[in-house]
Amino acid sequence: MLPWSADLAGRLDHHVIDSHALRGNPLGDPHERPLWVYVPPGYDDDVARRYPTVYVIQGYTGHIGMWANRTAFRRPFPELADEVFATDDVPPAIVVYVDAWTAYGGSQFLNSPGTGQYHTYLCDEVVTWVDAHYRTIPTRDMRAITGKSSGGYGSMVTAMLRPEVFGALATHAGDALFETCYLPDFPSKARTLRDLYGRSYDAFLADFRSRTPLTRPDDELLIETYGYAAAYSADDDGTVRLPFDTNGALVPEVWERWLAWDPVRMARQNRYADALRSMRAIWIDAGNRDEFHLDLGATAFHQAVLDAGAPKERVHFELFDAGHGLIEYRYPLALGWLCRQLAS
Amino acid sequence: MLPWSADLAGRLDHHVIDSHALRGNPLGDPHERPLWVYVPPGYDDDVARRYPTVYVIQGYTGHIGMWANRTAFRRPFPELADEVFATDDVPPAIVVYVDAWTAYGGSQFLNSPGTGQYHTYLCDEVVTWVDAHYRTIPTRDMRAITGKSSGGYGSMVTAMLRPEVFGALATHAGDALFETCYLPDFPSKARTLRDLYGRSYDAFLADFRSRTPLTRPDDELLIETYGYAAAYSADDDGTVRLPFDTNGALVPEVWERWLAWDPVRMARQNRYADALRSMRAIWIDAGNRDEFHLDLGATAFHQAVLDAGAPKERVHFELFDAGHGLIEYRYPLALGWLCRQLAS
Amino acid sequence: MLPWSADLAGRLDHHVIDSHALRGNPLGDPHERPLWVYVPPGYDDDVARRYPTVYVIQGYTGHIGMWANRTAFRRPFPELADEVFATDDVPPAIVVYVDAWTAYGGSQFLNSPGTGQYHTYLCDEVVTWVDAHYRTIPTRDMRAITGKSSGGYGSMVTAMLRPEVFGALATHAGDALFETCYLPDFPSKARTLRDLYGRSYDAFLADFRSRTPLTRPDDELLIETYGYAAAYSADDDGTVRLPFDTNGALVPEVWERWLAWDPVRMARQNRYADALRSMRAIWIDAGNRDEFHLDLGATAFHQAVLDAGAPKERVHFELFDAGHGLIEYRYPLALGWLCRQLAS
Amino acid sequence: MLPWSADLAGRLDHHVIDSHALRGNPLGDPHERPLWVYVPPGYDDDVARRYPTVYVIQGYTGHIGMWANRTAFRRPFPELADEVFATDDVPPAIVVYVDAWTAYGGSQFLNSPGTGQYHTYLCDEVVTWVDAHYRTIPTRDMRAITGKSSGGYGSMVTAMLRPEVFGALATHAGDALFETCYLPDFPSKARTLRDLYGRSYDAFLADFRSRTPLTRPDDELLIETYGYAAAYSADDDGTVRLPFDTNGALVPEVWERWLAWDPVRMARQNRYADALRSMRAIWIDAGNRDEFHLDLGATAFHQAVLDAGAPKERVHFELFDAGHGLIEYRYPLALGWLCRQLAS
């Protein structure tokens, strides 16, 4: 009964995974995490058949429950993904929806003393669990990772960090080229901290936690940036270092720590260039009006991928006419392409 | 396991109601409609007890499935509503979530040859069904209606039109004072039609239906305005009359038809003033930075309510510091207040 | 020595005219007014030759001294106008720059008890003075009036009101179709008055006069709207009536007084349609991104002009790619065209 | 006859200075430059008296002719400056208005192979000429330099570079803390170059020169940034190096050249810290809503000035409620303060 709900041709299982890596995480976030696993039509009919797996991760402030959100005139991605396998000539795959929410709104899918061991959780725990519980083809050549925004970021860096786990990736408007996607907003954040919080991030955080969140100006931008810093530049003791000071001036030693995690810069390092060259499929796209300039990041990452020696036939690059929001209709395009590439 | 899901202290039942009024509606929208009914904690324990009922309706482009949507750092209204009864000292009530979606994104909860008999469906079918299936106190004195934006509009006009059905209302940023909330956007719509669609609304509608919706500039504004016109100024044969011409000039005879449905103007008519005066509770609020100037509409409606003779102690009016979006934290405030007023 | 200054091929005379009509004007503005008269190259050589005259009037908040303003990479209109006659194959004309500044920033070139007798001053005093002091061809067929924004407005209405004085007009982004150019901003003005001035225009005016003007939000919009009201809807005793109340609601009886001065609506009246039909040249243009939607007004006025029976060959209509500002490069195009039309 | 013109209590002389330093400048800009010198009331009465001198420089896209521009409800700075001496209890001074326009819209008052020797022209030629032609007190202790935006920038760096020439400075919203005022706009510039000019600045420049300037999106931002690069990072042969590449990525070696000219960073070097400590007066202000975040730059520069050891009583720092534009009413405040400080 559209638009209120839909039956799937495949099946979406809801699990909870108990993560060892996330136990005792510094933010006190749960170590038991929801995990959704989708099996394509026919999975239950041919019990000997094994499938490639596509891991799907989310953008900042996303948690797994939001995959069920419905918006006007649109359908949720799990339904679009189901349709890819139900109606298109696409080789079937298992699709895994992974949650990496934190109290700051996200983890960037990295291990950090500021947030927790989300990289280990994703690559070592979730993948192992899925391979143990579903009929996957448990090889890196048959695993892809995809996401949008911070999820696109996570796809890029996770594939570079762990090419033995993932052999393909897709990034939609993924965070990249940090001087274009993050840095331009630092001045207005510094100003908001000055005008509303006595130049103190701690004062903001205390206030944010004390009231209905997202009701004051720049709430979202301020919490996000803090979360990025917690992921990119937290000290071993968990202290979060910010890349700009109370005047908005860059703090070079912290900013360098951020840049070390920029996919565009990582891709220029031999280790990660090797990983990219080994990928069986790399999809890169972004809207040409992206409010965070992630079209520039996508273009720069694409160039770095080609410079790393990735064969052109395994790389899809596209700028499309859109901003950052409301682009979930792009996800099934990459999903179908990834599945075809994995099967080829 | 927050923030992904929550158990309710009460119970939320999902039904489908088969509407006679919506059969054969002009847009071909379903006549079988989802209906959610929430019963408060204790409902199943004391089977003799009867309860007041609060009907909840949605803003434009809202459909019932969206009540389950989760957003970062926030909780869905059904959980907030449950908490009102679970933790606050609020007299319990049944809460009914009504769907009035159309192919244009909404119905304004009116009967119209342009969209369908949504007023009849709401007031005569849904209410009757709920009274028949739940232990309500089936009197107007024990029924309230509440909503935000177009849902606030629906609450105002429905209570004025049918005071024998509803004895209380709440409106959050409800559409009102049409020259401030609708008219200012007409010129940019006319311009978009000129620049993208050869000055033709039909060309827009055809295009809108042929592709992924909400990907082109002003998609949302254009479809919304068409939907308002379908609700306010459709001819008997279903022809939708627009209140502005291809140059953006007002079409006075159509605009007058819109104004006849403006809550501020309705409230100045004797019949509706009588209805308002009879209300046991009227909650009116809006954000003081509302992008559609609905704070002005709220203020004007409040004045009209007082001028109609509604006693001050039964009227709550408030402008709060916010825009139009992300104000669902206001809904439980009104819900609790309404329940207390109904019980008093 | 560009860009700092320029010599003219013609001559620009600076005069002061002592207006009887403006004596005792209600705002205490000067009745002695600056008047600039430009004579084209050759004027002093052939002392028997007589010339057509083009009157140039300014937009809101413009006063005559601003014609000398220089902006980066651009040249002032008097230099561009001089170039039209110096280098193009354009029949020479006298160009008269008229000042109609008031303490509210403008007069709309009308007679009003709220501002003064600016229409009389322009049509009866300035024209007479120029004809007396310069070798004009003193007939309506050889007089044009042109301007931008409120100056375009003044050109349209002055030519309609006084076809025996002016036989041609040009309007660049002239105020027209009042529901598109004025009305959309009323709500935000009402809100600003509420938030900053206790809902009182008098409080705003007192504050505006007490400090450096244009330093507070909406200063310009608030003073402009008051000035328009002073021009369009002042009572005989000078009381200024506003077209919206403290909630932003339209005040119909005042708004009707405004609409009576809308060029689009005036052009539909027989008297003014006759005037338009009699024009020897009508230039109408606007930027297609005009922030005040004056492209819509231009289109509607153009349609009204054609409907009035003005021959197409005497009408130039054009939307160009621009907003409302920085369009002075359009003025010489109209000037040259007008001069050719007058000479034809 | 305000607001059209004004008589001065003092006298404003218009000169042309023939600069040797600007001969053969790379942009072909004139080496003969307009120079305006204002002498205060009484200058001609007591021919033995000598005066301090305040040099006034302009923001980007400013040329000297613009000091005569009139805007609604405001007065040009030369009139405001005259009033400072005419009506306030301020020690009189000579005020010198210097032109440093270039074909790119400005020079940043530096010597550069990309634009010309504007620093030499200002410090060695203009100052010498003024001392030779007017009764100045020709010592650094009796010379100040002031300006807004790029003029504020020029005041900061010129005083640091040449403390033997200038003993005091004022900066209103001066360019500073380059990562906050310049860098945030680089991505949108890169995008505009991509979308409109095939990623080529040369294509933009050719187009800009071929048509009416400032009619296309981002014209002003693109020409400005090119001008900054011409001032900060031109090679010896005049080649202009840009601090971002076609993807918007920072080019570190060029960006470092820019940062070497950042007043905040310069002030941390011993040589320039010594200069700042030697200043007799330093005025720093900015609007707290400055669109280029120059309030952050002002705050950082102020901190650097204090850290350099400048005595607090010689430093005035203030953030006021404004954006970047329409703040010329601030200039006379600094002018009066500077004159008092010089005289003390």
At B168 the pLDDT is 98
- What confidence category does residue B12 fall into, taking pLDDT thresholds of 50, 70 and 90? very high
Binary contact (C249, B300; C-beta < 8 A) = yes
Give me the half-sphere count of Cα atoms (radius 13 Å) on the Cβ side of residue C35: 24
Same domain, C130 and C267: yes
At A2 the pLDDT is 74
Q: In what order do the strands lie in the sheet with A168-172?
A: A11-18, A32-39, A94-98, A53-57, A143-148, A168-172, A281-287, A315-320
User: Buried b vs exposed e over D97-130: b needs ≥16 C-beta within 10 Å?
Assistant: bbbbbbbbbbbbbbbbbbbbbbbbbbbbbbbebb
pLDDT at residue B6 greater than cutoff 90: no
At A1 the pLDDT is 60
Binary contact (A72, B64; C-beta < 8 A) = no
In a domain, B3, yes or no: no
At B5 the pLDDT is 85
Share of chain C above pLDDT 70, in %: 100
Residue A185's domain comprises 180-259
Average pLDDT over chain D reads 97
One DSSP character per residue, A48-87 reads T--B-EEEEE--TT--GGGGG---TT---HHHHHHHHHHH
At D6 the pLDDT is 86
The pair of three-digit structure tokens given for residue A260, joined into one six-digit string? 């070390």
Single-letter code of the amino acid located at A304: A
Of the residues A203, A231, A259, which one is the last residue of a structural domain? A259
- What confidence category does residue C217 fall into, taking pLDDT thresholds of 50, 70 and 90? confident
pLDDT at residue B158 greater than cutoff 70: yes
Give me the half-sphere count of Cα atoms (radius 13 Å) on the Cβ side of residue A185: 17
pLDDT in tens, A196-249: 999 999 999 999 999 999 999 899 999 999 999 999 999 999 999 999 999 999
Beta carbons of D90 and D339 less than 8 angstroms apart: yes
Residues of C whose CB is below 8 A from D329: 212, 215
pLDDT in tens, A40-49: 999 999 999 9
Beta carbons of D314 and D279 less than 8 angstroms apart: yes
Subunits in contact with chain C (3 or more CB pairs closer than 8 Å): B, D
Residues of A whose CB is below 8 A from D195: 288
Of the residues D259, D287, D313, which one is the last residue of a structural domain? D259
Alpha carbon distance D318, D337 (integer Å): 13
Tokens 């796809």 found at: A155
This model's pTM is above 0.90:
yes
Q: Which residues contact A87 (CB under 8 A, 6 or more apart)?
A: none
pLDDT in tens, B182-196: 999 999 999 999 999
E strand or H helix at D195, and its extent? helix D186-197
At C1 the pLDDT is 60
Interval B269-295 mean pLDDT? 98
Alpha carbon distance C338, C161 (integer Å): 19
At D1 the pLDDT is 60
Alpha carbon distance B111, D336 (integer Å): 70
Same domain, B63 and B194: no
- What confidence category does residue B312 fall into, taking pLDDT thresholds of 50, 70 and 90? very high
Q: Is B199 an 8 Å CB contact of chain C? A: no
3-state secondary structure of C331: helix
- In degrees, rounded to 5, the angle at the alpha carbon of residue A167 between the alpha carbons of residues A166 and A173 is 80
3-state secondary structure of A298: helix
- Rg of chain B (C-alpha set): 20
Interval B157-166 mean pLDDT? 98
Same domain, C203 and C308: no
| Interstrand relation of C94-98 and C116-117 (parallel, antiparallel or unpaired) | unpaired
The pair of three-digit structure tokens given for residue A3, joined into one six-digit string? 């638009």
At B217 the pLDDT is 83
The beta strand positions in chain A, using DSSP E, are 11-18, 32-39, 53-57, 94-98, 111-112, 116-117, 143-148, 168-172, 281-287, 315-320
pLDDT in tens, A319-338: 999 999 999 999 999 999 99
pLDDT in tens, C92-140: 999 999 999 999 999 999 999 999 999 999 999 999 999 999 999 999 9
Same domain, B43 and B169: yes
Residues of B whose CB is below 8 A from A72: 61-63, 105, 213-214
The torsion region of residue C132 among left (phi > 0), alpha (psi -120 to 50) and beta comes to alpha
Same domain, C39 and C152: yes
At C93 the pLDDT is 98
Instruction: Indicate the number of domains in chain B.
Output: 2
Q: Which residues contact B253 (CB under 8 A, 6 or more apart)?
A: none
Same domain, B72 and B122: yes
At B1 the pLDDT is 60
At D5 the pLDDT is 85
In a domain, D62, yes or no: yes
| Out of C65, C69, C215, closest to residue D5 by CB | C65
Interval D216-243 mean pLDDT? 97
Same domain, B204 and B289: no
Interval D200-228 mean pLDDT? 96
In a domain, A166, yes or no: yes
pLDDT in tens, C135-179: 999 999 999 999 999 999 999 999 999 999 999 999 999 999 999
User: Buried b vs exposed e over B262-284: b needs ≥16 C-beta within 10 Å?
Assistant: bbbbbbeeeebbebbebbbbbbb
At C6 the pLDDT is 86
Binary contact (C293, B177; C-beta < 8 A) = no
Same domain, C277 and C204: no
pLDDT at residue A84 greater than cutoff 70: yes
Interval B204-233 mean pLDDT? 96
Candidates B1, B2, B4, partner chain A, best to mutate (most A CBs within 10 A): B4
Same domain, D30 and D43: yes
Interval A59-77 mean pLDDT? 97
In a domain, B130, yes or no: yes
Binary contact (D184, A179; C-beta < 8 A) = no
Alpha carbon distance C181, C263 (integer Å): 12
Binary contact (C191, B293; C-beta < 8 A) = yes
One DSSP character per residue, D29-97 reads --SEEEEEEEE-TTTTT-TT--B-EEEEE--TT--GGGGG---TT---HHHHHHHHHHHSS----EEEE
CA distance D246 to chain A (A): 9
Interval B271-294 mean pLDDT? 98
Alpha carbon distance D319, B63 (integer Å): 48
Beta carbons of D64 and D34 less than 8 angstroms apart: yes
Beta carbons of C317 and C285 less than 8 angstroms apart: yes
pLDDT in tens, D132-175: 999 999 999 999 999 999 999 999 999 999 999 999 999 999 99
Average pLDDT over chain C reads 97
Same domain, D32 and D157: yes
Q: Which residue of C has its CA nearest to D35?
A: C4
- Would the ipTM clear 0.90, i.e. be above it? yes
Of the residues C233, C259, C285, which one is the last residue of a structural domain? C259
CA distance B69 to chain A (A): 5
- Rg of chain C (C-alpha set): 20
At B85 the pLDDT is 97
In a domain, B146, yes or no: yes
Same domain, C193 and C246: yes
In a domain, B78, yes or no: yes
C-alpha to C-alpha distances, A56 to A53, A109, A145, A265, C309, nearest whole angstrom: 10, 12, 6, 24, 66
One DSSP character per residue, B298-312 reads HHHHHHHHHHTT--G
E strand or H helix at D305, and its extent? helix D294-307
Average pLDDT over chain A reads 97
Q: Which residue of A has its CA nearest to B74?
A: A213
Same domain, D224 and D300: no
Interval D24-47 mean pLDDT? 97
In a domain, B1, yes or no: no
Interval A283-287 mean pLDDT? 98
pLDDT at residue D304 greater than cutoff 80: yes
Give me the half-sphere count of Cα atoms (radius 13 Å) on the Cβ side of residue D242: 20
CA distance C265 to chain D (A): 30
Q: Is A161 an 8 Å CB contact of chain D? A: no
At D88 the pLDDT is 72
| Out of A184, A264, A299, closest to residue D184 by CB | A184
In a domain, C282, yes or no: yes
Residue A170 belongs to a domain with what CATH number?
3.40.50.1820
Candidates D73, D83, D324, partner chain C, best to mutate (most C CBs within 10 A): D73
